[in-house]
Amino acid sequence: MSAGTQVQATTIKGKQILMATMRKNSALIWSAALFSLVVNVLMLSGPLYMLSVYDRVLGSRSVETLVALSIIVGFLYLCMTLLDYVRGRIMARVGARFQSTLDPVVFRTVQEQALLKGNSGSGGLRDLEAVQRALTSPAVVSAFDLPWMPVFFVGIFIFHPWLGWLSVGGAALLMVLAILNQSRTRDTASLASEAAARAERYNQTLQESAEQIRSLGMTNATMGRWAKMRNASLASTMTFSDTSGLYAAGSRGARLMLQSAMLGLGAFLVLRGEMTAGAMIAGSILLGRALAPIELLIAQWALIERAIDGWGNLTRLLSVSRDTAERTPLPAPEAKLSVNQLTIVPPGQATPTLRMLSFELTQGQALGVIGPSGAGKTTLAKALVGTWTPTGGTIRLDNATLDQYDPEVLGQYVGYLPQRIQLFDGSITENIARMSETPDAGKVVAAARMAAAHDMILRLPNGYDTQINASGGSLSGGQIQRIGLARALYNDPVIVILDEPNSNLDNEGSMALNAAIRSLKASGKAVIIMAHRPAAIQECDLLLVIEDGLRRGFGPRDDVLKQMVQNHQTIQQDSTGGSVR
């Protein structure tokens, strides 16, 4: 199979999803097409009016005829305006329904790809917005008028063949300019878009790290780097604007010159007696109407091109989306965790950071996971909460593998405190309740009490209703840590996984954490703690030692610690040639 065939095969699913979504709007699209038929028929009102005025009214000098024709054409223009407005509103609904239908699918797929590739971004959502904007733009509405161009050209040919051939030649010239505009600006448009996205991402990173940048005196340095990206974006945008503007101006000039040429040639034919003055004016109006869709497409080509790129990107993105078939609901699991021969290759890497790891944990137990930095503790945490999929081996919760649970359901059974805690824009209640639209106030307070955060929250200006942003606002690192712990404990999970839970806690916070662990164990839950500090494993019954992604020790905490000390003494004795007592 050739490379091109492989690419086509991998995008079939995405094309099917996009086309199926468009077919859901087929009734609206056909309605817009029907209105376009009527609008274009009504467009003939102007030429016919001018033809009648010049050839009949002026010749007969009948005011009554002029008034009657004016009333009729005014009514027809009113109808045409209303129908043109209606078809525009119809296409706006098509774009809105297209976006609202695909929003959940694209959002989930973007999230999945961010986990798989180890990065984040909203490119898929921006692509969807680009397609939606194009569907609601006048450019797409004008595309319904393109099939009627031959009708207007036929009308011009009826007036005189010379005028017909002049109009066809002018339309061909505008089409050539449109094709040149597309081919010459495609690369520059892509470069401008990429440069702008890079500058935007970098600026977002700087805004999130404003405190560190200011405290370390990095403002000028980071601003200089951002300015270079910004200038590169502006340069690419200017190049695109200059090129596209040249073709847009050229097309407008060509159209105006063509209309003047039509009038000049028409006047020549009138002088020769081969056509009437009314036909000359009507032909010029028909030409303007026939060329209007082409000129509009050229003027809005940047929007159309961005939508074309967005459609292609969505095709590739949705081709790797997961099917949303519902999983069979499983009963609430017990706190029994079994990890067998687990191997994890993090997204974006080629080598595993965890290899052939096995252990078991049951109700009422707490497991401490220790090891040097980079040993694989955080990797294990991400695998246990279902963020990273095992490359080899299995993780079972109450005998069911994690992928048998819907991710939303699994998140209710597993509480997770990551090493880097991310809060969200909203109230503290909403953050503890995992941004639920209907938070359970009783569970929120219970989780906050268990995390020793209740009194701290009450001291805030608005208590649990205090609004915070993604960076935590004025909250300290310890306060953010306690809110994150409360979020992990919300809704009574059966297993709680804590990655460096006391990294920002003071002595009081560490004591509260140990009390929370004791309470969880007493209620039959299981706790896993990734730790560097000895205080974090005081309440642990079991200890797992990881080094270089491999299990170096597992068992009761005191036995493993004793074994580690003996190994350390043996190594020291071998290296010094003496005995250690």
DSSP H helices, 338-495, are: 377-384, 407-413, 428-432, 441-450, 454-458, 477-489
| Res 340: pLDDT | 93
Chain segment 40-50, per-residue pLDDT in tens: 888 888 888 88
Question: What does the pLDDT average to over 541-551?
Answer: 91
Q: Could you tell me which of 558, 554, 550, 515 has the C-alpha nearest to residue 534?
A: 558
pLDDT for residue 567: 57
Given this model, what pLDDT does residue 17 score? 86
Take residue 58 and report the two structure tokens written for it. Answer: 């002026």
Q: Sign of dihedral through CA atoms 80, 82, 88, 91? A: negative
Q: What percent of the chain has pLDDT over 90?
A: 18
* Average model confidence (pLDDT) across the chain: 83
| Angle, alpha carbons 492-497-498 (nearest 5°) | 115
Backbone angles phi, psi at 502, to 5 degrees: -110, 20
At the topology level, CATH places domain 337-576 in Rossmann fold (3.40.50)
What pTM did the predictor assign? 0.71
pLDDT exceeding 70 applies to what percent of the chain?
Answer: 92
Q: By CB neighbour count within 10 A (0-12 exposed, 13-18 middle, 19+ buried), where does 306 fall?
A: buried
In the predicted structure, residue 320 carries a pLDDT above the cut 80: no
The total of other beta-carbon atoms located within 10 Å of residue 347's CB is 15
380: pLDDT confidence band, cut at 50, 70 and 90?
A: very high
Kindly report the backbone phi and psi dihedral angles of residue 2, in degrees, each rounded to the nearest multiple of 5, phi listed first: -75, 165
Task: Please tell me the distance from the alpha carbon of residue 565 to that of residue 367, in angstroms, as a whole number.
Answer: 19
Across the range 107-113, mean pLDDT stands at 81
426-427 vs 467-468, strand pairing mode: antiparallel
Q: Angle, to 10 degrees, between the axis of helix 219-271 and the axis of helix 301-319?
A: 120
Q: Are strands 542-547 and 366-370 parallel, antiparallel or unpaired?
A: parallel
Residue 526 has pLDDT above 90, yes or no: yes
pLDDT tens digits for range 410-465: 888 999 998 888 888 889 999 999 888 888 999 999 999 988 889 889 998 889 99
Alpha carbon distance 35, 39 (integer Å): 6
Exposure of 411 by Cβ count < 10 A (0-12 exposed, 13-18 middle, 19+ buried)?
Answer: middle
Angle between helices 277-299 and 149-159 (to 10 degrees): 160
Rounded alpha-carbon distances, angstroms, from residue 201 to 120, 123, 195, 311, 573: 10, 11, 10, 22, 53
Q: Please choose, from the candidates 382, 419, 490, 412, the residue with its C-alpha nearest in 3D space to the C-alpha of residue 114.
A: 382
Rounded Cα gap, residues 16 and 24, in angstroms: 12
Query: Residue 513 pLDDT > 80, yes or no?
Result: yes
Using pLDDT thresholds of 50, 70 and 90, give the confidence band for residue 306. confident
Q: What is the pLDDT of residue 533?
A: 66
Query: What kind and span of H or E run contains 338?
Result: strand 337-344
As assigned by CATH, the class of the 148-299 domain is mainly alpha
What are the pLDDT digits (tens) for 179-208?
887 777 777 777 877 788 788 878 877 776
